[in-house]
Amino acid sequence: MSEYQVNEKGYYGHFGGAYIPEMLYPNVEELRQQYLAIIHSDDFRQEFDKLLRDYVGRPSPLYPAQRLSERYGTNIFLKREDLNHTGAHKINNTIGQILLAERLGKKRIIAETGAGQHGVATATVCALKGLKCVVYMGAIDIERQAPNVARMKMMGAEVIAAESGSKTLKDATNEALRDWINNPVDTHYIIGSVVGPHPYPDMVARFQSVISAETRKQLLEKTGRETPDHVIACVGGGSNAAGMFYHFLDDHDVKLVAVEAAGKGVDSGESAATTVLGREGVLHGSRSLLMQTDDGQVIEPYSISAGLDYPGVGPQHAWLYEKGRATYVNITDDEAMQAGLLLTRLEGIIPAIESAHALAQLEKMTFKGDENVVVCLSGRGDKDLDNYMKYFGF
């Protein structure tokens, strides 16, 4: 067992665990006891692989970005999660969890969403499987993300506004947890990132690990080596990075770079750079790094990218950060927006603003000419056109 993976008690070092009230214990415990047996069963594997291939469109390409490579003087490969059905890596996890929920006999699915990407990916698999779907979304996010709200509704999901607290992602997650407390028997909660009580961080990382499993094969074909020199991914809660890092964690010559959102600057008071600004604490059922006051109240983060403004990171990221296995850096709104435009102009790909944070990190690194660099292009930028247009005044 890798020292970077969850241990038998559900911890990554001293991070992780299951800090949940008794009302959630039976559901989380059921999941903990069964998730490994289910996801390792032949029946599950076959259906999961088939849906990823025929429905999601996997494997996603590993694209050698020629003009970007020329600009930075090295070999840059983009892992094209943006080409997945529904436009981001989120669907890898929702496919896995809906198959798991079916096998647990659950009839009703709940989810939280920030920008709406995970909500859309959940509503999608619920439509695919004919299961009832309820998505909690912060009241403020519902206003900001009307097209995704419409997509969810069109697919038959009920979208409920979270009116508590700051009315954004963290509060949507609170409302989903409250729903699960009040519906303890027939409901499965599809968490969208590598956060939440054990076994969620491990389970979601396993479903997302298809990203790095494919990347190894594709690198071998393209470069003759399974491993690259650098892997770069953005981190909010951290699910695309967890999947992108997963099969490289024990290859210590692969440098892993996790990019957090600095917002308007780490010291501006409007930031989401959790490893810089956070301390150890408990939110949404796990012990991790958390942006909080001295008194332990959670601080609302900020980023121009709705997918990165979460006040914590998954417990595995906290552990990788503490162990120094991955380097955690941060990128401001402005740097990300410029990187998004640059990729569009050089390669004809409009990235999600989340993914643009990972791309912006290229500017800050120096490469030897023959190095191989993989950047996880976690999502496409269609959902962000409004933001891009406003920012650049198109």
Partner 1 sequence: MNRINRLFADKGSKRILSIYYTAGYPTLESTVDIAETLENAGVDFLEIGFPYSDPVADGPVIQHSSEAALRNGMSLGVLFEQLKDLRRRVNIPVLLMGYVNPVLQYGVESFCKSCKAVGVDGVIVPDLPMYEYEERYRSVFEENGLSNIFLVTPQTSEERIRKIDDLSTGFIYLLSSSATTGKNLSVSENTEAYFSRIRAMQLKNPVAIGFGISGHHAFTRATDHADGAIVGSAFVKLLGETDYSRKIPQFIRQLKG
221 is catalytic: no
The Cα–Cα gap between 60 and 79 comes to: 7
Backbone dihedral angles phi then psi of residue 243, each to the nearest 5 degrees? -70, -35
Segment interacting with partner 1, rule: CB under 8 A, options 123-131, 167-175, 339-347, 368-376: 167-175
Question: Is there binding between residue 178 and partner 1 (CB under 8 A)?
Answer: yes
Rounded least distance, CB 173 to partner 1, Å: 8
Which residue, 54 or 295, is less far from partner 1 as judged by CB?
Answer: 295
282 contacts partner 1 (rule: CB under 8 A): yes
Q: How far apart (Å, rounded) are the C-alpha atoms in residues 352 and 87?
A: 9
Taking CA atoms, 145 is separated from 235, 346, 349, 386, in Å, by: 21, 28, 22, 10
Near partner 1 by CB under 8 A: residue from 284, 317, 325, 383: 284
User: Which residues in the 182-241 window bind partner 1 by CB under 8 A?
Assistant: 182, 184-185
Interior angle at CA 380, CA 80 and CA 145, nearest 5: 150
Cα–Cα distance measured from residue 4 to residue 134, given in angstroms and rounded to the nearest whole number: 34
Interaction between residue 290 and partner 1 (CB under 8 A): yes
Shortest gap between Cβ of 187 and partner 1 (angstroms)?
Answer: 11
- Measured CA to CA, the distance from residue 283 to residue 97 in angstroms comes to 22
Give the span between the Cα atoms of 247 and 392, in whole angstroms.
Answer: 38
List the 108-113 sheet strands across, edge first: 158-162, 132-138, 108-113, 187-190
**Euclidean distance between CA atoms 272 and 295, whole angstroms:** 19
Q: How many C-beta neighbours within 10 Å does residue 15 have?
A: 23
Active site residue 129: no
Q: Measured from the CB of residue 222, what is the shortest distance to partner 1 in angstroms?
A: 45
Q: Which of 6, 62, 177, 375 binds partner 1 (CB under 8 A)?
A: 177
368 catalytic per annotation? no
CB 113 to partner 1: min, Å? 17
Stretch that binds partner 1, among 78-86, 88-96, 277-285, 358-366 (CB under 8 A): 277-285
Whose Cβ is closer to partner 1: residue 288's or residue 355's?
Answer: 288
Measure the CA–CA gap between 288 and 133, rounded to whole angstroms.
29
160 in contact with partner 1 (CB under 8 A): no
User: CB of 275: closest distance to partner 1 in angstroms?
Assistant: 18
List the one residue from 4, 6, 12, 17 that touches partner 1 (CB under 8 A): 17
161 binds partner 1 per the rule CB under 8 A: no
Place of tokens 């911890």: 11
Which CB, 297 or 366, lies closer to partner 1?
A: 297
Q: Angle at CA 172, nearest 5°, toward 297 and 300?
A: 35
The yes or no reply on residue 8 touching partner 1 (CB under 8 A) is: no
Spot the catalytic one: 60, 69, 90, 347: 90
What is the Cα–Cα distance from 258 to 256, expressed in whole angstroms?
Answer: 7
Does 73 bind partner 1 (CB under 8 A)? Our answer is no
Could you tell me which stretch among 44-52, 210-218, 284-292, 328-336 binds partner 1 (CB under 8 A)?
Answer: 284-292
Determine the interface stretch with partner 1 among 21-29, 108-116, 314-322, 344-352 (rule: CB under 8 A).
21-29
Say whether residue 297 binds partner 1 (CB under 8 A): yes
Q: Are 320 and 349 in contact (CB under 8 A)?
A: no
Give the count of beta carbons closer than 10 Å to the beta carbon of residue 165. Answer: 14
β-pairing verdict for 279-283 and 326-332:
unpaired
- The candidate with the shortest Cα–Cα distance to 302, out of 179, 143, 140, is 140
Using CB under 8 A as the binding rule, whether residue 26 contacts partner 1 is answered as yes
Question: How far apart (Å, rounded) are the C-alpha atoms in residues 356 and 350?
Answer: 9
Of 81, 112, 335, 354, catalytic:
112
Please identify, using beta-carbon distances, which residue of 301 and 381 lies nearer to partner 1.
Answer: 301
Which residues are identified as catalytic? 90, 112, 378
Q: Which residues bind partner 1 (CB under 8 A)?
A: 9, 17-23, 25-26, 164-165, 170-171, 174, 177-178, 181-182, 184-185, 279-285, 290, 292, 294-298
